[in-house]
């Protein structure tokens, strides 16, 4: 398959007269990093891979260097990480695209390996692949993502320039429309020229867009995508975010997937993950003829509830994302479930005989790393299946239900992950220890910033600078 893919790609590169191809990979935050290479180098990379610096794995969300890379063991006690060494990235031919907004530029997603061919232990895409390989069913995922469209009102200047581990002032933007006219057609039409460009770009990229709408906040947009198998869905999310941000900037606009920008009237954005298991013939295994969910679906749901606290780190990995978890906000505040209930953490959709029966987990923020978020859901759900867990009765008043509260901060969620046996077993101690350190570096900088300052429930200037233009 690799070989056929390569021959095909060679033809395509010539036919499209490409001048560069971006070799892209997912960093630990789920952001797309890339190097652009000439066509001969690209063709060589298809067969032999391409060297990159391991550094993007070791940087926190402000480019802060978290590990002492130049000491023995790379500050991680891992000989193979000493000295910020090279990795080899190997393009995955099935992910190739020609970028609609960048003439004659191709794009391909790569997997990371050490130079001796060992798969790279911190690769989020590999981590998801490993989870999928362990599961005998297909994991089917649908993306429902909210984000903000704004207009850029200043040129990038020295004030926006930061330093490693400290971002400059976030770029100033203006709202696209006044907001709070839910699903307003005229509100949407103010954004239509940009949304149309985006829809065209998603189409050319083969991203299975279903709908675009004007959400609640000023310039808040929601996009939904058709269900895909899990790895494709994760790749779709990575490309969707980076494509949206790039197309918008080229139009003088700004897109952010930060959950709650520190701007007047900005309501939280969520990333709801629709999920089900199907057999190899595509039959939905969560669907039942006489119940809301099959026994498999119920145990999977119970697994999501049982591991909700540690899994929150992967669904909501930023300081900012925890500001979503408020009562009566359409975002959950505790680990509960309901049937078609938008206040519950897991909203069951479908029902008896419905082949589209699925679980919508509403816990995620749009900035989450898609590979880790999706892998954590599968690990939690399948543990529920393995232990035949029972989710208990549904919660019709989710904000009053007697259920465990979700972590109230990134710190609480990281502590829950540190104590959790499931994710240590499934993702490996090496990955968990690494990830805890990475996220605690970000959290530590936030805590330092807040020292001596008064804070409230509102997002801070620190968050705005840290996340607005990173996600
Ligand atoms: N914005 C809400 C959230 O943060 C979701 C709104 C909706 O249900 O569409 O999850
Ligand atoms: Mg929505």
CA of 242 to the centre of ligand 1 (A): 21
What confidence category does residue 80 fall into, taking pLDDT thresholds of 50, 70 and 90?
confident
Of all helices (H) and strands (E), which one includes residue 192? Answer: helix 185-205
Residue-wise pLDDT for 429-442, tens only, equals: 999 999 999 999 99
What confidence category does residue 286 fall into, taking pLDDT thresholds of 50, 70 and 90?
very high
Pocket test for ligand 1, best of 211, 215, 257, 341 (most atoms within 8 A of CB): 215
Does residue 118 come out as left (phi exceeding 0), alpha (psi in the -120 to 50 range) or beta?
A: beta
pLDDT value of position 6: 83
User: Which residue in 56, 1, 65 sits closest to 23, CA to CA?
Assistant: 56
Q: What is the CATH number of domain 2-121?
A: 3.10.20.70
Domain range annotation of the chain? 2-121, 132-427
Q: What is the mean pLDDT of residues 224-235?
A: 98
What ligand has the least distance to the C-alpha of 330? Answer: 1
The label of the residue with tokens 């995620």 reads 364
Is 167 a pocket residue for ligand 1 (Cβ < 6 Å)?
A: no
pLDDT value of position 79: 84
Q: Which atom of ligand 1 is nearest to the CA of 324?
A: 4
What confidence category does residue 2 fall into, taking pLDDT thresholds of 50, 70 and 90?
low
Q: What are phi and psi of 289, to 5 degrees?
A: -80, -25
Task: For the chain, give the mean pLDDT.
Answer: 95
Using DSSP, state whether 39 is helix, strand or coil: helix
Asked: is 132-427 a CATH 3.40.50.300 domain? The reply is no
Structural tokens at position 271:
């990333």
CA of 145 to the centre of ligand 1 (A): 9
Pocket test for ligand 1, best of 261, 272, 347 (most atoms within 8 A of CB): 272
Q: Which protein residue has the closest C-alpha to ligand 1 atom 1?
A: 269
User: How far is Cα 333 from Cα 345, in angstroms, rounded to an integer?
Assistant: 7
**Residue 379 pLDDT exceeds 50:** yes
Strands 50-53 and 20-26: unpaired
Give the percent of the chain with pLDDT over 70. 99
User: How far is Cα 196 from Cα 202, in angstroms, rounded to an integer?
Assistant: 10
Per-residue CA distances from 274 to 210, 226, 286, 335, 404 (Å) = 14, 10, 12, 16, 22
Q: Which atom of ligand 1 is nearest to the CA of 329?
A: 2
Per-residue CA distances from 408 to 312, 329, 341, 360, 421 (Å) = 10, 15, 22, 21, 21
**Residue 3 pLDDT exceeds 70:** no
Beta-ladder partners of 88: 51, 113
What confidence category does residue 5 fall into, taking pLDDT thresholds of 50, 70 and 90?
confident
User: How far is Cα 221 from Cα 188, in angstroms, rounded to an integer?
Assistant: 9
CA of 179 to the centre of ligand 1 (A): 14
Is 364 a pocket residue for ligand 1 (Cβ < 6 Å)?
A: no
Pocket test for ligand 1, best of 268, 340, 406 (most atoms within 8 A of CB): 268
Is 91 a pocket residue for ligand 1 (Cβ < 6 Å)?
A: no
**Residue 300 pLDDT exceeds 50:** yes
pLDDT value of position 71: 87
**Residue 20 pLDDT exceeds 60:** yes
Per-residue CA distances from 275 to 138, 247, 358, 385, 409 (Å) = 10, 29, 6, 14, 25
Low-confidence winner among 64-73, 122-131, 318-327 (lowest mean pLDDT) = 64-73
Structural tokens at position 194:
């940009």
What confidence category does residue 311 fall into, taking pLDDT thresholds of 50, 70 and 90?
very high
User: How far is Cα 255 from Cα 173, in angstroms, rounded to an integer?
Assistant: 10
pLDDT value of position 1: 40
CA of 172 to the centre of ligand 2 (A): 25
Q: What is the mean pLDDT of residues 296-302?
A: 98
Residue-wise pLDDT for 147-179, tens only, equals: 999 999 999 999 999 999 999 999 999 999 999
Buried b (16+ CB within 10 A) or exposed e, 259-275: bbbbbeebbbbbbbbbb
Q: What is the mean pLDDT of residues 251-271?
A: 97
User: How far is Cα 154 from Cα 169, in angstroms, rounded to an integer?
Assistant: 12
What ligand has the least distance to the C-alpha of 212? Answer: 2
User: Which residue in 393, 338, 383 sits closest to 360, CA to CA?
Assistant: 338
Q: Which residues are near ligand 2, the ion (C-beta closer than 5 Å)?
A: 222
Q: What is the mean pLDDT of residues 82-108?
A: 94
**Residue 271 pLDDT exceeds 90:** yes
User: How far is Cα 422 from Cα 381, in angstroms, rounded to an integer?
Assistant: 11
DSSP string, 216-245: SSTTEEEEEE--EEHHHHHHHHHHHHHHHH
User: Which residue in 275, 149, 325 sits closest to 221, CA to CA?
Assistant: 149
Of all helices (H) and strands (E), which one includes residue 339? Answer: strand 337-339
Residue-wise pLDDT for 125-139, tens only, equals: 999 999 999 999 999
CA of 184 to the centre of ligand 2 (A): 13
Low-confidence winner among 100-104, 289-293, 326-330 (lowest mean pLDDT) = 326-330
CA of 215 to the centre of ligand 2 (A): 6
User: How far is Cα 145 from Cα 135, in angstroms, rounded to an integer?
Assistant: 26
3-state secondary structure 120-145: CCCCHHHHHHHHHHHCCCEEEEEEEE
CA of 271 to the centre of ligand 1 (A): 8
Is 323 a pocket residue for ligand 1 (Cβ < 6 Å)?
A: no
């Amino acid at each position: 398959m690799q070989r056929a893919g390569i021959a095909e790609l060679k033809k395509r590169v010539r036919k499209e007269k490409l001048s560069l191809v971006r070799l892209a990979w997912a960093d630990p935050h789920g952001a797309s990093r890339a190097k652009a290479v000439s066509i001969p180098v690209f063709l060589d990379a298809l067969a032999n891979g391409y060297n990159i610096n391991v550094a993007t794995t070791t940087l926190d969300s402000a480019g802060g260097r978290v590990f002492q890379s130049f000491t023995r063991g790379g500050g991680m006690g891992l000989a193979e990480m000493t000295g910020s060494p090279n990795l080899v990235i190997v393009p995955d031919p099935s992910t190739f695209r020609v970028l609609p907004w960048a003439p004659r530029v191709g794009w391909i997603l790569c997997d990371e390996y050490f130079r001796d061919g060992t798969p790279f232990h911190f690769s989020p895409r590999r981590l998801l692949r490993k989870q999928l390989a362990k599961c005998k069913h297909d994991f089917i995922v649908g993306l429902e993502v909210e984000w903000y469209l704004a207009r850029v009102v200043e040129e990038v200047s020295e004030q926006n320039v930061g330093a490693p581990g400290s971002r400059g002032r976030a770029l100033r933007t203006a709202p696209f429309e006044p907001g709070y006219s839910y699903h307003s057609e005229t509100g949407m039409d103010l954004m239509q020229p940009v949304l149309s460009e985006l829809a065209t770009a998603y189409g050319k990229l083969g991203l299975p867009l279903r709908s675009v709408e004007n959400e609640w906040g000023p310039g808040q947009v929601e996009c939904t995508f058709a269900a895909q198998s899990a790895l494709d869905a994760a790749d779709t999310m990575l490309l969707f975010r980076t494509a949206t941000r790039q197309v918008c900037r080229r139009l003088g606009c700004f897109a952010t997937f930060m959950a709650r920008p520190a701007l007047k009237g900005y309501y939280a954005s969520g990333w709801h993950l629709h999920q089900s298991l199907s057999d190899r013939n595509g039959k939905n295994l969560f669907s039942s003829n006489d119940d809301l969910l099959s026994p498999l679906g119920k145990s999977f749901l119970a697994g999501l509830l049982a591991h909700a606290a540690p899994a929150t780190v992967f669904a909501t990995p930023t300081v900012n994302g925890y500001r979503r978890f408020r009562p009566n906000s359409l975002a959950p505040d505790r680990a509960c479930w309901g049937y078609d209930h938008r206040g519950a953490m897991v909203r069951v959709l479908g029902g008896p005989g419905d082949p589209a029966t699925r679980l919508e987990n509403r816990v995620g923020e749009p900035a989450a790393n898609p590979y880790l978020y999706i892998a954590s859901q599968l690990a939690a759900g399948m543990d529920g299946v393995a232990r035949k867990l029972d989710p208990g009765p549904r919660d019709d008043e989710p904000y009053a239900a007697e259920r465990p509260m979700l972590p109230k901060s990134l710190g609480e969620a990281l502590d829950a992950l540190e104590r959790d046996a499931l994710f240590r077993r499934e993702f490996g101690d090496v990955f968990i220890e690494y990830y805890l350190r990475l996220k605690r570096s970000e959290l530590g900088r936030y805590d330092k910033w807040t020292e001596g300052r008064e804070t409230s429930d509102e997002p801070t200037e620190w968050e705005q600078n840290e996340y607005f233009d990173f996600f």
